Chains A and B, each alone.
Chain A
Amino acid sequence: EAGVAQSPRYKIIEKRQSVAFWCNPISGHATLYWYQQILGQGPKLLIQFQNNGVVDDSQLPKDRFSAERLKGVDSTLKIQPAKLEDSAVYLCASTPGGPDTQYFGPGTRLTVL
């Protein structure tokens, strides 16, 4: 069974530029999560999708971050414009339903200069 795929693995941009990340969850997994993990901290949930609907985006900085999950499969997360404090690893995870056993992708390490 293929795992969660993410791309790119690394991205370096300058502040005020835009960036997009892509995630393809495990086949059949209805729930998809985007997390931000700053070095030395635990994952912070940005947005949770159930199929193609948003169920929790309470911690998503909506003035600069956006995400979509068209057709309930893969998802993109966009930052526009980026700030220095957005430097982090962006993790995508999926589960068949509830949040208990989350399967994580390899992450995208973003550096904002």
Chain B
Amino acid sequence: QKEVEQNSGPLSVPEGAIASLNCTYSDRGSQSFFWYRQYSGKSPELIMSIYSNGDKEDGRFTAQLNKASQYVSLLIRDSQPSDSATYLCAVKRYNAGNNRKLIWGLGTSLAVNP
């Protein structure tokens, strides 16, 4: 089992619809979760972080965290063609020596069709 799992997609939604992206993680002790967006040929950029159970909203984006079920999701409301990208889920892990690093999923490709 991978530490961070995402459906690779592609997920295709019509313009104006809600896109739902899901991520599960294996380390029950994980506390911090991130969604990065990566446009084709570009580098990842952080769009959402979430640390507590429940929902966190930022504009058209909502991150949802359920630690008991070990999943985190990203909802994009009123999807636009400019949202077409790969969305990477990342989970912060503590290593020996209390070093922290992000464990990355493979990413979900989203296509928003006009």
Q: Which of B4, B42, B101 contacts A56 (CB 8 A)?
A: B101
Q: Is B102 an interface residue (CB 8 A)?
A: yes
Q: Which of A42, A100, A105 contacts B104 (CB 8 A)?
A: A42
Q: A43-B104, A48-B101, A106-B43 are in contact. Are A100 and B88 (CB under 8 A)?
A: no
Instruction: Name the residue on A nearest B89 (C-beta).
Output: A42
Q: A41-B106, A42-B106 are in contact. Are A98 and B45 (CB under 8 A)?
A: no
Tell me the complex Cα distance, A102–B102, Å: 10
Q: Is B8 an interface residue (CB 8 A)?
A: yes
Interface size range on B against A: 20 to 34
Q: Mark B67-109, 1 if CB is under 8 A from A, else 0.
A: 0000000000000000000001010100101011110111100
Q: Which of A43, A48, A55, A98 contacts B44 (CB 8 A)?
A: A43
State whether A91 touches B43 (Cβ < 8 A).
yes
Tell me the complex Cα distance, A101–B105, Å: 16
Measured between C-beta atoms, what is the minimum distance from B72 to chain A in Å? 14
State whether A55 touches B99 (Cβ < 8 A).
yes
State whether A56 touches B95 (Cβ < 8 A).
yes
Measured between C-beta atoms, what is the minimum distance from B26 to chain A in Å? 15
Q: Majority SS of interface residues in chain A?
A: loop
Instruction: Name the residue on A nearest B45 (C-beta).
Output: A104
With a CB–CB cut-off of 8 A, which chain B residues contact A61?
A: none
With a CB–CB cut-off of 8 A, which chain A residues contact B44?
A: 43, 91, 102, 104
Measured between C-beta atoms, what is the minimum distance from A38 to chain B in Å? 10
Tell me the complex Cα distance, A48–B101, Å: 9
State whether B43 touches A104 (Cβ < 8 A).
yes
Q: Mark A5-16, 1 if CB is under 8 A from B, else 0.
A: 000000000000
Tell me the complex Cα distance, A34–B81, Å: 31
Interface positions of A from 47 to 80, Cβ below 8 Å from B: 48, 55-56
Give 20 pairs: A residue, B residue, CB < 8 Å, sorted on A: A40-B8, A40-B106, A40-B107, A42-B88, A42-B90, A42-B104, A42-B105, A42-B106, A43-B44, A43-B88, A43-B104, A45-B101, A48-B101, A56-B99, A99-B92, A99-B101, A100-B49, A105-B43, A106-B43, A107-B43
